[in-house]
Amino acid sequence: MNYIQADSLLTSLAPPGSAFVEHSRVVAEVATKIASALAEGRDGIDIEQIRVNALLHDLGRARTHGNYHGWVGYAMLRHRGFADAGRGCITHWLRGLTIDEVLTMSGARPKFIKRVFEELDLPRMRVEDIVISVADFSVAHTTIVSLEARAEDLGLRYGNSAWLARNAELAGEHRSRIERWSGRAFTQIIPEASRGAGHIVVPDFIKNKS
């Protein structure tokens, strides 16, 4: 699946006016810039694959905005024969958490979570998973901001929790890896990522949707 096909699929499955569609497009562009920076000094970076996975990371929100939207998106793509394009749906949701952390913080059924981990070889995070993790955590609605500002925004909308705190910590670790791999500060790759929470622009039609 290429980006044009992925965008067409996203548009066809999302309810009209879905806020997460534009959020996903911005995340895809951020992920593409990060991947391009890594590809300058690292072999094996599939920029198109990363762009597609980033675009589709929130596809599950076409069906639900609940805690399991990551799995729903993956299942939707797997059902259509595009499981590889759905990996980002899962990894941006679990972000490298161990199975014990997920069970402790989410209250999910152990049998279900074990199945997810086994099917996608988790908690191992591939390079593309780390890129999408950071890209998603750098975009509040449709505004590129710092990871700290994104965490603040999520806390205000959903409430502070151990899950959010751990996700923010992991996103920070992933950003540090990108900096090591690329040899550049993250704000050199994505200058807008230095913005604080005061720069977040929330469109009128967005109501806790991205």
pLDDT over 90 (residue 210): no
- Residue 140's pLDDT is 93
Mean of all residue pLDDT scores within the chain = 92
Q: What is the pTM of this model?
A: 0.92
Give the Cα separation of 197 and 129 in Å (integer).
25
Mean pLDDT on 109-123:
95
- Residue 205's pLDDT is 42
Q: Classify 144 as helix, strand or coil.
A: strand
- 15-53 pLDDT, tens digit per residue, is 998 999 999 999 999 999 999 999 998 889 999 999 999
- Residue 202's pLDDT is 55
- Residue 119's pLDDT is 94
* Ramachandran region, residue 134 (left: φ > 0; alpha: ψ -120 to 50; beta: rest): alpha
In the structure, what pLDDT confidence band is assigned to residue 201 with cuts at 50, 70 and 90? low
Give the Cα separation of 31 and 136 in Å (integer).
8
- Cα of 189 vs its chain's centroid, Å: 18
- 61-88 pLDDT, tens digit per residue, is 999 998 899 999 999 999 999 999 999 9
pLDDT over 70 (residue 203): no
Retrieve residue 82's tokens: 């595009």
Do residues 75 and 109 lie in contact, with contact meaning Cβ atoms separated by under 8 Å?
A: no
Give the Cα separation of 142 and 23 in Å (integer).
5
DSSP classification of residue 83 = G
